[in-house]
Amino acid sequence: MIIEQFVQTPFQQNTRIVACENTRKAICIDPGEASPEVVEFVKTKGLELSAICLTHGHLDHIGGTRFIKDNFPDAEILLHQAEEPLYYSLKQQPLAMGIPPHQLVAMGFDYDDPPEVTRHVEHGEIVEIGDLKFEIRHCPGHTLGHIVLVEENERAVFTGDCLFSGSVGRSDLPGGSHEQLISSIVENVLSLDDDFTAYCGHGPETTIGRERMTNPFLI
Ligand SMILES: [Zn+2]
Ligand SMILES: [Zn+2]
């Protein structure tokens, strides 16, 4: 498995390209901003981008969806159905966060409408990217339709804003619930074996074993 990380937006969000070494098929998880660097990486590595998957609909995770889709028109756009209202409100999100309209361009938050979602992904579904098999797990609590992606053979989980190294996601935004977030993590993330690497939406990667032992929100 090839994993390349790009830290994007003023929120330091981790956009990733994950690819199957055998077939060169690739998925983009959470494109944060319109990034020529990401497109360049896919092209120079000879990858075929077959899907864009969004762990959830916050602007720092979806802001680059249109740009990636424009560059790779055949890529599917995968999102949980409960996340659609947030996804399609991309243009309004910076204003709702209190960012003044005249600063939107300077901060990179001057968005066009995001492209249509092409497929809803549901809990338990498997998304195949070449030989890679990503199991979708619905983990509400940060937002209503947040998902994580589990690649069992590669011992990897992509946790979005659900679980971070030493921390968990915010639950004070619309649709959030701390109680629900913790139960999502316990049921769907901590149920993985200790050796799984967690690739988080912000900050460094970690392991399930380390979080189980040391994450103050989970012990
Ligand atoms: Zn978020
Ligand atoms: Zn985020």
Per-residue pLDDT of the chain (219 residues; tens, 9 = 90+): 999 999 999 999 999 999 999 999 999 999 999 999 999 999 999 999 999 999 999 999 999 999 999 999 999 999 999 999 999 999 999 999 899 989 999 989 999 999 999 999 999 999 999 999 999 999 999 999 999 999 999 999 999 999 999 999 999 999 999 999 999 999 999 999 999 999 999 999 999 999 999 999 998
pLDDT at residue number 127: 98
Look up residue 51 and give its amino acid: A
For the record, the structure tokens of 191 come out as 């149920």
Distance of CA 161 to the CA centre of its chain: 8
pLDDT at residue number 181: 98
- The conformational region for residue 6 under phi > 0 = left, psi -120 to 50 = alpha, else beta, is beta
Cα(158) to centroid(ligand 1), Å: 13
Cα(17) to centroid(ligand 1), Å: 19
| Angstrom distances, CA of residue 159 to CA of 84, 107, 121, 189, 190 | 19, 26, 15, 8, 11
Query: 78 has which bridge partners?
Result: 53, 119
| Rounded distance between C-alpha atoms, residue 99 and residue 191, angstroms | 39
State which residues have CB under 5 angstroms from ligand 2, the bound ion: 60, 161, 201
- The conformational region for residue 179 under phi > 0 = left, psi -120 to 50 = alpha, else beta, is alpha
State which residues have CB under 5 angstroms from ligand 1, the bound ion: 58, 161
158 three-class SS: strand
Q: Can you list the domains of the chain with their CATH numbers?
A: 2-214 (3.60.15.10)
Cα(171) to centroid(ligand 1), Å: 9
- Among 39, 30, 34, 27, CA closest to 2: 27
Q: Are 45 and 2 in contact (CB under 8 A)?
A: yes
Number of alpha helices (DSSP H) and beta strands (DSSP E) in the chain: 7, 14
| Rounded distance between C-alpha atoms, residue 141 and residue 191, angstroms | 17
pLDDT at residue number 219: 87
